[in-house]
Structure 1
């Protein structure tokens, strides 16, 4: 039976969607060519809370008979983790790729300014920014991911929004988790030379 991968793109109240994050860089086609079934939905563009995102994507899992591997990217890692925790029988592997850094004063200030500048209300912005190592989750919840294979994929070149410290914290929080090779984030212009390597990393983890 063909394995299925659910790709959850990054962004938070930004002009980002699955096509720009996974499709245009060639990831969707690469994983399909490697024999995987790929689900790549768009996240809600202007969510007032992480519950809104969870509800929008949970429909992809509730009617499935076979489990999936979830690959969350950047702020999409929050949704990926919450889906994995909520549906333990429907998610058998999890990749937290380029996890968005939370709890850093400078990063949170910049992220808040971006949210407010795009029309997010202060109350909704506060809810979206709340959490521990990953926004919208607690570290105690993340520790519960130890029941399944979990991989953390860092940014090849550390940057304020995707810091090495976040990767290290997740590896410590989730017993048995492992680190995959780092790559540039797909929307970046320096990603294309790494496409084949990235696809191989995901395929090998799934299998």
Structure 2
């Protein structure tokens, strides 16, 4: 799976570099959204048809919220530590970490309310988080406890990395937990990024 993903990305880079697929470039946003929607539909049908997944989620109840909370804390603390090494202030590094992989929103927020430089850094940091998540998820899925695959994707486990998680894990309740985690983290981004940058 990992080899196929990397091969497709490399193929896309080479296609864009050596040719000018005008139709694809002009319609890339629509094509990507459509393909993602089809993948998410498949994931939804798979989850909805599995009563065991629904029963396990009911058993977990509110505890399922601990996962995105811990991911949020880990992301913010981790970027704050790296910020010390890069000579960033605590508010800058923690605000970047609060993007949780949602590069388009966190970069725009920080550009508008703080600075273009930090907005670009937030954008790149969160893009790389998603790229690393795509590489790490199939590898982490081989561990005994598959719930670990939820952490790298952050907010993207609600959409772009959800099909990859679904393909990589054997315990299907992990997919439902990943979706919930991604939804919670996505809702926290527009709250935490502006809040942390002003501290």
Same fold per superposition (TM over 0.5): no
If the length of structure 1 is used for normalisation, what is the TM-score?
0.30
Higher relative contact order (CA closer than 8 Å, sequence separation 6+) = 2
If the length of structure 2 is used for normalisation, what is the TM-score?
0.31
Q: Considering fraction of residues, name the structure with more strand.
A: 1
Max Rg structure: 2
